[in-house]
Amino acid sequence: MAISEITPRQARDRQRQGALLVDIREAHERAGGQAEGALGIAKAELEADHGRHLPSPDAAVLLICQSGRRSAATAAVLEEAGYTNVHSVAGGTSAWIAESLPLVRPQLDADEADFLERYSRHLRLAEVGIEGQRRLQRARVLLVGAGGLGSPAAFYLAAAGVGHLRLVDDDVVDRSNLQRQILHVEATIGAPKVDSARERLAALNPRVRIEGVRERVTSANVEALLDGVDVVVDGSDNFPLRYLLNDACVKLGKPLVYGAVQRFEGQASVFDAGRHRGQCPCYRCLFPEPPPPQFAPSCAEAGVLGVLPGIVGLLQANEALKLLLGIGQPLAGRLLQFDALAMRFREVRLVPDPECPVCAPERPFPGYIDYARFCGSDG
């Protein structure tokens, strides 16, 4: 049987005559405004316990959503349950607004209103929703490096609502950084990068706590820096620090989101061996030995296309958010390589090394080493 649809103006007239108008959108959707006099009951809640919310089965019930699709579906559910006078508002709240019918905003405190409006596009995703956004709000991320990779990663993690960003970098802003390190501006040249970053990120999202740590990451402080965090994002630019972060993450069971860039090429992966021994590889499984320094020049020596760290840093932010939300398929066990000149992505499968000195199953942690010497550099 076809569902009865009525126009918003007809719904308004019937509402005046005593019909019950029910807005079945989620609370965050209704926060932007709902039809005057409508009762707000989320679709799933109404369908699960309609008897508690609605009058007798023969009462006039009008359902409204955003565009009319959800209300029509719920009307069908109610008719199946025995309700005989149910109508769906065609075009939903969008049509109601277009016809200039009265709209009201639910009474919310300032903090809740800010939360619902700021993250409204996340809240509409079934994979995120209110619970997922609250999960991000409780999350703590360690971001090592406020440079080329750390800049885009930090911006998007802060914008997404990650509640606590611990940003570690011991460097100061240099004019040569501005070509790619978009956290920083001309006015912050000479300032500590963590201070420059904190200022920009706080301006973007004051809901996020930015903890700036102006220190060099070493074997002595790495575990303190990882304490309490859910995900580690590696925005470093040298091999000794990458190996150190890897080893600490394996030992402490933290997922590590890896990224690296050089000239026109970049790569990203997720190393989660600490939580999944024998199933996921670690950084040492990919690089058991560091390349000789002459074959791995820094960006300062070899150069880098300014936009490239932005692309890879965004991939890292995406992986971090997936890990925090528990959605999608992380890059664990996969190395994503990007060639900016060819505009080509290539994926390489990675497997855990059963003889890895750090992440092999049942192997005790061997302890931290002299990473600068291991990598044949001065660190």
> CATH no. for residue 217?
3.40.50.720
More confident residue, 151 or 362: 151
For the entire predicted model, the pTM comes to: 0.88
What is the per-residue pLDDT across 239-289, written as a single tens digit (0 to 9) for each?
999 999 999 999 999 999 999 999 999 999 999 999 999 999 999 999 998
What is the per-residue pLDDT across 319-328, written as a single tens digit (0 to 9) for each?
999 999 999 9
What is the per-residue pLDDT across 201-219, written as a single tens digit (0 to 9) for each?
999 999 999 999 999 999 9
**CB-CB contact of 22 with 61 (8 Å):** yes
CA separation, residue 231 to residues 52, 134, 379 (Å): 43, 16, 24
Q: Are residues 70 and 143 in the same domain?
A: no
Its domain, for residue 15, covers 5-107
Q: How confident is the model at residue 28 (pLDDT cuts 50, 70, 90)?
A: confident
Q: Are residues 93 and 10 in the same domain?
A: yes
The number of distinct structural domains making up the chain is 2
Give me the chain's average pLDDT, please. 94
Q: Are residues 97 and 194 in the same domain?
A: no
Domain membership of residue 132 (yes or no) is: no
Q: How confident is the model at residue 64 (pLDDT cuts 50, 70, 90)?
A: very high
Q: Are residues 280 and 351 in the same domain?
A: yes
Q: Are residues 229 and 329 in the same domain?
A: yes
Q: How confident is the model at residue 379 (pLDDT cuts 50, 70, 90)?
A: very low
The one-letter amino acid at 98? A
Q: Are residues 59 and 188 in the same domain?
A: no
- Supply the pLDDT for residue 293: 65
What is the per-residue pLDDT across 78-118, written as a single tens digit (0 to 9) for each?
999 999 999 999 999 999 999 999 999 888 889 998 999 99
Domain membership of residue 130 (yes or no) is: no
Strands of 163-251, DSSP E: 164-168, 209-213, 231-234
Angle, helices 150-160 vs 308-325, to 10°: value is 40
Q: How far apart are CA 255 and CA 248, in angstroms?
A: 10
Q: Are residues 83 and 202 in the same domain?
A: no
Q: Are residues 217 and 77 in the same domain?
A: no
- CATH number, domain of 32, equals 3.40.250.10
- Supply the pLDDT for residue 2: 73
Q: Are residues 167 and 77 in the same domain?
A: no
Residue 239: φ, ψ to 5°: -70, -40
Q: Are residues 246 and 206 in the same domain?
A: yes
Q: How far apart are CA 321 and CA 327, in angstroms?
A: 8
Q: Measuring CA to CA, which residue among 255, 293, 294 is closest to residue 274? A: 255
Domain membership of residue 118 (yes or no) is: no
- Supply the pLDDT for residue 298: 67
**CB-CB contact of 94 with 67 (8 Å):** yes
Q: Are residues 26 and 99 in the same domain?
A: yes
Domain membership of residue 114 (yes or no) is: no
**CB-CB contact of 22 with 46 (8 Å):** yes
What is the per-residue pLDDT across 77-88, written as a single tens digit (0 to 9) for each?
999 999 999 999
